[in-house]
Copies of this chain bind each other. A is one copy, B any other.
Amino acid sequence: MPQNAPPHYTIPDDIPLAGLISIVHRMYSIHMDGQAIAPGLKTGQIPFFMRISREPGITQDDLAAYYIIDKGTVARAARRMEEHGLITRTPDPDNRRKLRLFLTARGEAAVPRVFATDRDWDKRVLSGLSEEERRNLHAIFQKMAVQSRDIARGDADNGSEFGTEHR
């Protein structure tokens, strides 16, 4: 192979859907991180960030349970977003060990940018599909999100080693 030739790039036919999702997600992350939506907001934190925007005052523990992820990972992500002025962590007045999460004004300003960047990416990555095909795909993905969560939750309930940090 010549010294500077780009590596051969093919998507093997027999790669499972799970493998394709890993690749697509990795490529999305590269794109999203490159957009620099807001300082301190890395792609891995966007699901947490968007969940807080949809459910202001959600506790750190409920956020961890929602994504079936260990509390330490959520705590680190929340601390990082707080340090960058994107969210506040406020102790619940009735139970001061519970931290409730809210977006700051700077955080609120980033929400439409996340949506716009995602929608633009969606359009580009699905170019070639008809409007109807896109709608179908979206509906399938909503079901996959629910079913994949049920699978992960079942693992957790069966005591497998969920809760470790993953990437």
Shortest distance between the CB of A98 and any CB in chain B (Å): 10
A161 touches B7 (CB 8 A): no
Q: How many copies does the complex hold?
A: 2
A17 touches B137 (CB 8 A): yes
**Option from B31, B128, B147 in Cβ contact (under 8 Å) with A127:** B147
Q: Which residues of B contact A67 (CB under 8 A)?
A: 23, 26
Q: Tell me the A33-75 residues at the B interface (CB within 8 Å).
A: 33-36, 42-44, 46-47, 50, 54-55, 58, 62-63, 65-69
Which one of A81-89, A101-109, A118-126 is at the interface?
A118-126
Q: Which residues of B contact A11 (CB under 8 A)?
A: 142, 145-146
**Please, how many angstroms separate the alpha-carbon atoms of A83 and B165 in the complex?**
20
Known contacts A9-B149, A166-B44; A25/B22 CB under 8 A:
yes
What are 5 A-to-B residue pairs whose CB atoms are below 8 Å? A11-B146, A12-B54, A16-B115, A22-B28, A34-B156
